[in-house]
Amino acid sequence: MKRLLFTVSIVALALVATGCGSTDRSVDPPPNALATVGGEPVTVEQVRALIPDSPLPAVVVAGGYAGPWPEALELAIRDELLVREAARRGLRGSTRAEQIAKLITQEQRGAAGLAAESITDGEALAWYQEHRSLFGNVAQAEVAWGEFADPAQARTALERAADTDQTTFQGLVREGGAKDSGTATIDNHGEGADPMISRAAFAVGAAGGVGLSADPQNNRWWVVRVERISFKQMNWDAVLAYKVKSAMATYRQEEHLRRLADSLRKKWPVEVYETRLADIAATEEPPK
């Protein structure tokens, strides 16, 4: 079974600033490799195995979730670093996953504040208010959008539209080749716009944020800017507290592992072949 990536959620928050050792130098990468860790290749097949099966690609968020291939590559690199560190510490397992699990358990036991039980209600409530969009329950969202028939145009519009206002956004998507554009008000059920627009808006979850929602089977891509978004008032009870503490613990654990993996890059240097990665991410298929 594939290990699922967290899409537009907790892992996206934790991995947003990983500092990969990327390169655009004139280097011939090993065949079928997207990166190397300590000189050993991380292959297309390894990365693809970490991408969850889904009828639709996850929403790409400007400044956040970068898409399935970059996120899966980062996770594959992290696994390579962690399994090497597990071996260095003498942690054995019948599989790589078991070795990594033992290392993670060791790390969690040695670090404070990584378990949900150690998080207070006050900490959880403050984190919930800061990360409201992770928990859904949207009341209403006002959005501007552009629909594209060309994925490259849509991705360019996404990059250019970050940190713009609504008027500038609408001008950019029209100039960028959108076949249609407009504004909409979406209710808590996602009604009021095309479902793919609502999907992007709910994934972005923050005023001023921009996302790309894709339906490649039907050659349709939407770039969506959230103008305003509000959430339902939820009662802080034991059920919600448990849900938030669990999510907060997962985020802290992922952030701890990210920092550990970053420190391990000094032992085992990482090199990412950005051109090959970009080619795969652009086509959403590995090279032939």
Q: What mean pLDDT comes out for the span 138-153?
A: 95
Selection from 143, 131, 144, 163 nearest residue 231 by Cα: 131
Q: What mean pLDDT comes out for the span 253-275?
A: 94
pLDDT of residue 82: 96
What gap in Å lies between CA 257 and CA 246, rounded to an integer? 17
Instruction: Say which amino acid occupies 82.
Output: L
pLDDT class of 56 with cuts at 50, 70, 90: confident
pLDDT of residue 8: 40
pLDDT for 25 beyond 70: no
Lowest mean pLDDT among 154-158, 211-215, 284-288: 284-288
Q: Using one digit for the tens of pLDDT, what is the confidence trace for 147-168?
A: 999 999 999 999 998 888 989 9
What gap in Å lies between CA 92 and CA 262, rounded to an integer? 22
pLDDT for 6 beyond 50: no
pLDDT class of 143 with cuts at 50, 70, 90: very high
**Which DSSP letter does residue 228 get?**
E
What gap in Å lies between CA 150 and CA 118, rounded to an integer? 48
* pTM higher than the cut 0.85: no
Q: Using one digit for the tens of pLDDT, what is the confidence trace for 46-55?
A: 999 998 877 7
Q: Find the radius of gyration of the CA atoms of the chain.
A: 20
- 138-231 CATH, one of 3.20.20.70, 3.10.50.40, 3.30.70.20, 3.40.30.10: 3.10.50.40
What gap in Å lies between CA 159 and CA 148, rounded to an integer? 14
**Which DSSP letter does residue 166 get?**
H
- 9-22: string of b/e by CB count within 10 Å (b at 16+)? bbbbbbbeebebee
**Which DSSP letter does residue 222 get?**
E
Residue with tokens 């500092």: 19
pLDDT of residue 28: 72
pLDDT for 266 beyond 50: yes
**Which DSSP letter does residue 202 get?**
H
pLDDT of residue 63: 77
pLDDT of residue 1: 39
β-sheet bridge partners, residue 228: 142
Q: Using one digit for the tens of pLDDT, what is the confidence trace for 189-212?
A: 999 999 999 999 999 999 999 999
- Every domain of the chain and the residues it spans: 10-55+67-120+246-283, 138-231
pLDDT class of 285 with cuts at 50, 70, 90: low
**Which residue would you say has higher pLDDT here, 136 or 95?**
95
Selection from 47, 22, 33, 69 nearest residue 272 by Cα: 22
- 214-230: string of b/e by CB count within 10 Å (b at 16+)? bbeeeebbbbbbbbebe
pLDDT of residue 27: 61
Do 141 and 183 contact (CB within 8 A), yes or no? no
Query: What DSSP assignment string belongs to 263-275?
Result: HHTTTS-EEEEHH
Distant-in-sequence, close-in-space partners of 62: CB < 8 Å, separation ≥ 6: 158, 159, 161, 162, 209, 210, 211
Largest CA distance in the chain: 59
**Which residue would you say has higher pLDDT here, 11 or 113?**
113
Residue with tokens 């894709």: 214
